[in-house]
Amino acid sequence: MKRINCFLLTLFLTVFICDVSAQEEDLLSLVGSDDKPQKEFVNYSFKSSRVIMSHSMELIRPGVMDLRILHRFGNINKGAYEFFGLDNATMRLGFDFGLTKNLMAGIGRSTNKKEFDAFAKYRLIHQSKGPKSLPFSLLVTGGASLTSLKNTDTSQANYFSSRMGYYGQVIIGSKVSESFTLQFMPTIVHRNLVPTVDDPNDLLALGVGTRLKLSNRISLNVDYYYRFNQNPNDGTQNPLSIGFDIETGGHVFQLHFTNAVGMNEKVFLLETTNKWGKGDIQFGFNISRSFQIKKKKK
């Protein structure tokens, strides 16, 4: 009888110890689950939603309005009489809005040709780190512009559609490191009215934008487009801009030098005639100020 009792007691203790050990393993596995790698999205590839001229792979946060003032002076090589271009200036006033995490839109008006423009930008892929991550971002953007200059050519019909231009763009970019970002921008621009029969209605271009972080608040930015099928006799040039982003709290200042006068895609891709090699360079600046117009969701 004593042997049976000892056997039962031993069996009970064995089952109890195994059960406790199993529960401890389950608890440890739950605690250890917090140590598993988590997917983390990569942000702040650029300090602004624009590289300089071009859209960047950054979006404005939902509920935020970004007031943007773009200012370009005249050509530096005009000399002292024109105060090295500072006597002449063009500007664009714009309002960009963050609608959702992956969608933003904006409107603007430029003094150059009295143009109105609007655009929308949507992010399809957000660069991330961790499990099931992708090392790049993919965005699409499209916009339209309208020239409101009075028609001075009475020899041709003044159609409303002749004042319109459109563009579509894909942005593929990656924040390669904390200090370096690179993006490519295949672009198509369409204009309903062309100056001559030799000018294409649709222009294809490939843009490159990059950012090199110099400090926590300053970066060097470069923005360039190569155009593929422009009329070689129209005198237009590939637009190139080089400048610095300076962040000061709620403001981002972009100081740059460029050969482009226009401040929307149709104009700077189709109508840039200045040449860097001849000193046809303009100094300009962009000011970005963000306002929270909708309360953040808790």
What does the pLDDT profile of the chain (298 residues) look like in tens digits? 444 444 444 444 444 444 444 444 444 444 444 567 778 899 989 989 999 999 999 999 999 999 999 999 888 888 887 787 787 888 999 999 999 999 999 999 999 889 999 999 999 999 998 888 899 999 999 999 999 888 776 666 677 788 899 999 999 999 999 999 999 999 999 998 888 888 889 999 999 999 999 998 999 999 999 999 988 888 899 999 999 999 887 788 899 999 998 889 999 999 999 999 888 899 999 999 989 887 766 5
Question: What does each C-alpha distance from 125 to 53, 58, 206 come to in angstroms?
Answer: 23, 12, 20
CA atoms within 13 A on the CB side of 76: 15
Contact residues for 252 (Cβ-Cβ < 8 A; gap 6+): 47, 48, 245, 246, 286, 287, 288
Give the chain's end-to-end CA distance (angstroms, integer): 68
Using alpha carbons, select from 72, 103, 101 the residue that is nearest to residue 88.
72
Domain ranges of the chain: 2-32, 55-292
* Rounded Cα distance, 189 and 272, in Å: 14
Question: Tokens 């972009």, residue?
Answer: 254
Predicted TM-score (pTM) of this structure: 0.83
Domain 55-292 of CATH type 2.40.160.40? yes
CA atoms within 13 A on the CB side of 291: 8
